[in-house]
A = this chain, B = another copy of it.
Amino acid sequence: MNMNVLWNISYGVYVISSMDGDRPTGCIANSVMQVTAEPATIAISISHDNFTNECIKKENKFAISILLETTDPSVIGTFGFKSGRDTNKFDGVAYEMKENLPVLKDSRGYIICKVIDKMETETHTVFLGEVIDGDVFNESGQVMTYAYYHKVIKGKSPKNAPTYMPDRNDEDKKQVAEKSKYVCQICGYIYEGETLPPDFKCPICGQGVEKFVKL
């Protein structure tokens, strides 16, 4: 069995959001797919370890913001590599409330779903949501695919991602190691350049140079 074949499934990159009481929160996901056309329903897979999972279970609804290639990469750093338990992820982020859920303006648009069913696995919940609202914010630009995130942004998979594979991250690291120099120990972002400027901040997770080590 060659598990690498799993890397060839295509995905987008999304922020899945909900509410923790009055506090908006969310996380990055790639496992999002439409399940039925009429009525429109969507399935998402969210780790039990993601704070957003328990918030969706309480609220019984979730929002999907569809990221663009041009979406500020710090969105992935904040929503993918920090926890909503101790971070107000929407602070400093442009968002609107739709059906009482927060959605990102810096995206293609949003979809709001009411949870109508769920399936539990050992590590993740598959939520089935019926679409109750949705709109396009930005017509132009390409939606961000997971392949683009890995190849162009050189982003990594958070440990909670359904598609997380330590080997894949290691392989990415190896591929760029020949010409690259510094790797962020928080999110795996690799800075390519002879020197790392002292005021450099990781474009993915916002960490400073002290979190980078030379390869």
Contact = CB atoms under 8 A, between A and B. Distances in A.
Given A10-B12, A165-B37, A128 B128 contact: no
Contacts of A110: 5
A34 B31 contact: yes
A186 to B, nearest CB: 20
Contact of A123 (B31, B36, B117): B36
Contact of A136 (B5, B12, B119): B5
Contact of A108 (B1, B3, B5): B5
Given A66-B9, A162-B35, A4 B40 contact: no
Contacts of A3: 40, 131, 134
A131 B31 CA distance: 16
Q: How many copies does the complex hold?
A: 2
Contacts of A162: 33-37
Nearest to A134: B5
Nearest to A132: B1
Contacts of A109: 2, 5, 8
B2 A136 contact: yes
Interface string A126-150: 1010011111100000010110000
Contacts of A108: 5, 8
A37 B108 CA distance: 28
A143 B10 contact: yes
A30 B128 CA distance: 17
A109 B136 CA distance: 35
Given A35-B162, A37-B161, A128 B131 contact: no
A6 interface: yes
A45 B45 contact: no
A11 interface: yes
8 contacts: A1-B132, A2-B136, A3-B134, A5-B109, A31-B34, A33-B33, A33-B43, A145-B145
